Structure 1
Amino acid sequence: MPNDTTELTPPELTADDFLRVPDDRFTADTVAIVTGGGSGIGRATSVALASNGLTVAAVDIDEDGLDETVDVAQSLDAEGRVVPIKGDLTDDAAVAAAVEEAADLGTVRYAANIAGMQHIASIADFPMDTYDFMHDLMLRSPFLLSKHVIPHVEATDDGVGAIGNMSSVHGHYATQDKPAYIALKHGLMGLTRAIAAEGGGSLRGFSVSVGYVLTPLMADQIQDTAEERGIAEQEVIEDVMLGQARTTELMTPAEVANLFVFGFSSHARHLNGGDLLWDGGYTTTYE
């Protein structure tokens, strides 16, 4: 467990971090769209999929972050490639354009809806403009991206593909002062099941739910949570974030990315409408 918050720096990605899965569809001709590809879990997932030979269309509004993701993939000699697509995921036209740009790179079979944000406040104090932005980014955008991706998968010779959604332990239960995040992650779980219901068995939907991951987003939450609850930042880490987990270490972005690699692979063909709950016992044990 970290001794202080100064140690909460996301680790650098290395080639050894990533799961490699043999799969006939993991080729340079196959495209995976990853939202939030400019940092954190989105970056790690982009690099992980490129390391498995895929062409990755990484979508983010942060152009500099996307360039860094491309550089990381190249520095690790990824077998595939990351292609940056700058786009505002809260803009309907930009989402549609991003999918079409991705389709120009090859055959779109996979999409990972990862982009997200957090705001710490109670329901009574929650600013509705922030709620609306979070909704557009974290639920409406995944719905719209899926709407545009599904026809591309259905147009392939076998209709095989998958859409993976980044949920959370907060898609399973609620804690204080994260009402928008919790509501939207629950909604994303519903979208996952709807994709599975309509996918005919070959186009799958799945979600990934993890606890606290060492990303810039998580590091930024610590001070906000400490202020909202009136406790020390170290108490946030030890009690709020890790106190209920049995594995008392923060996950790394690469560990989450590997779940998307497996989820997209043919080895996960029975993962449909289901959730990869990788939370260190957070939601299944208690004291």
Structure 2
Amino acid sequence: MLTLAKAALERATGRRPLEGRSAIVTGSTSGIGLGIAEALARAGAAVMLNGFGDPMQIEETRTALADANDVDVAYDGADMSDAAAIRRLAERASARFGQVDIVVNNAGIQHVAPIAEFPPAKWDAILAIDLSSAFHLIQATFEPMRQRGFGRIVNIASAHGLIASPFKSAYVAAKHGLVGLTKVVALEGAESGITCNAICPGYVWTPLVEKQIDDQAKSHGIGRDEVIRDVFLKNQPTRRFASVEEMGALTVFLCGEEASSITGTALPVDGGWTAH
């Protein structure tokens, strides 16, 4: 109800900074990606959702997002490990909205294992979805952005794009690569009105994280509070999870006119984790 009221107020007062823009947000049927899609829609952007999940639930989400914000919201289930499917996603979004102004590369998967035991297939899948998918979608949308003289690309990296942790070789490699890709795209788009930035979250409160807390508590025989304090938030000095709303608000800012000179950055949203 609060979201509906806020969206109505923003429409009534004309304070919608992304009115008339259109966006693709990968991995946006839940968690951080959905939070970003919601924020972009509230700011007035048309949004192409992407991701996996129950078809009926995805359609309910799509409809609710469109109705609450009076914007066009579509869905495409493109497989982010398939380069051809990613190109088709860009084509369908452009055909639906007329153009793609904003790309948010959020799709990602994770696997944790020692390097000596890390399954090669998992390595390949993580690199494909967490890194290569961003390249393919940027490549498919960059030239039209350049020709129009405007584009906003936001890559959802991680604190692990800046630092490392044991047992996460593929994820850390992919996120470091995503930060590097961000810098290259920023340089190539700098004179064409295109910005490219990476957001580097620490732990963000999502349904997936909540499930992991419960699983860890059961497997270690300790309470939820201990898991949160001693496992998840051990390295975050604020001792609190970031929220999907924070990720959405930062993305909206980076996609607006006020952020035109912010490009090539990797912005930690990690409660001070990478300040150590």
State whether TM-score is above 0.5: yes
Tell me by how many angstroms 1:278 deviates: 1.5
**Structure 1 unpaired stretches of 5+:** 1-11
Q: 1:210 deviation in Å?
A: 1.3
Equivalence for 1:180: 170
- Is 1:121 the equivalent of 2:121? no
Deviation at 1:232, TM superposition (A): 4.0
Give CA deviations for 1:195-220 in whole Å, capped at 9, x if unaligned: 01110341111000111011233234
- Percent of counterpart pairs with the same letter? 34
Shift of 1:166: 0.3
Match of 1:140 in 2: 132
Indicate if the aligned counterparts of 2:23 and 2:45 stay in contact, CA closer than 8 A: yes
| Distance (Å, rounded) in 1 between the aligned partners of 2:23 and 2:110 | 25
TM-score after normalising by structure 1: 0.84
Quick one: distance in 2 between partners of 1:216 and 1:122?
26
Cα separation, 2, equivalents of 1:179 and 1:61? 25
Where in structure 2 are the equivalents of 1:53-202 lying within 5 Å? 53-62=44-53, 64=55, 66-74=58-66, 77-104=68-95, 105-156=97-148, 159-201=149-191, 202=193
Whether contact under 8 Å (1:113, 1:166) holds in the other structure is: yes
- 8 Å contact from structure 1 (residues 210, 277) kept in 2: yes
Aligned to 1:253: 244
Distance 1:223 1:96, change over 3 A: same
Q: Distance in 1 between matches of 2:199 and 2:232?
A: 18
The residue type paired with residue 66 of structure 1 is: I
The one-letter amino acid of 2:81's match is T
SS in 1 for 2:19: coil
Over 3 Å counting, the alpha-carbon distance change for 1:116 and 1:224 in structure 2 is farther
Q: Larger % of helix: which?
A: 2
- The secondary structure found in structure 2 opposite 1:181 is helix
Displacement of 1:15 in angstroms is 4.9
On the 8 A contact 1:37/1:43 being kept in 2, the answer is yes
The 1-side partners of 2:210 and 2:268 are apart by 22
| Count of residue pairs the alignment pairs up | 267
Quickly say closer, same or farther: Cα 1:170–1:265, change in 2 above 3 A.
Answer: same
Shift of 1:80: 2.2
Could you say if the C-alpha distance between residues 141 and 178 of structure 1 is closer, same or farther in structure 2, counting changes exceeding 3 Å? same
TM-score, normalised via structure 2 length: 0.87
Q: Counterpart amino acid of 2:275?
A: T
The equivalent residue for 2:233 is 242
* Conserved 8 A contact 2:242-2:269: no
Q: Of the two structures, which has the highest relative contact order with CA contacts closer than 8 Å and spacing of 6 or more? A: 1
Matched residue type, 2:264: G
Q: Is the 8 A contact 2:101 2:150 kept in 1?
A: yes
Q: Which amino acid aligns with 1:186?
A: H
| Alpha-carbon distance between aligned partners in 2 of 1:17 and 1:115, rounded to the nearest angstrom | 28
For 1:269-284, list aligned pairs within 5 A: 269-284=260-275
- Kept in 2, the 8 Å contact 1:23–1:266? The answer is no
Structure 1 residue identity aligned to 2:132:
R
Report the Cα offset of residue 161 of structure 1: 1.0
Kindly state the Cα deviation for residue 138 of structure 1 after the two structures are TM-superposed: 0.7
Taking the aligned partners of 2:231 and 2:52, their CA distance within structure 1 comes to 31
5+ residue gaps, structure 2: none
How far apart are 1:107 and its partner, in Å?
A: 2.1
Measured at CA, do residues 191 and 226 of structure 1 come closer, stay the same or move farther in structure 2, by a change above 3 Å? farther
Q: 1:176 to 1:231 in 2, by over 3 A?
A: farther
Counterpart Cα distance in 1 of 2:6 and 2:106 = 19
State the alpha-carbon separation in 1 of the partners of residues 242 and 144 from structure 2: 33
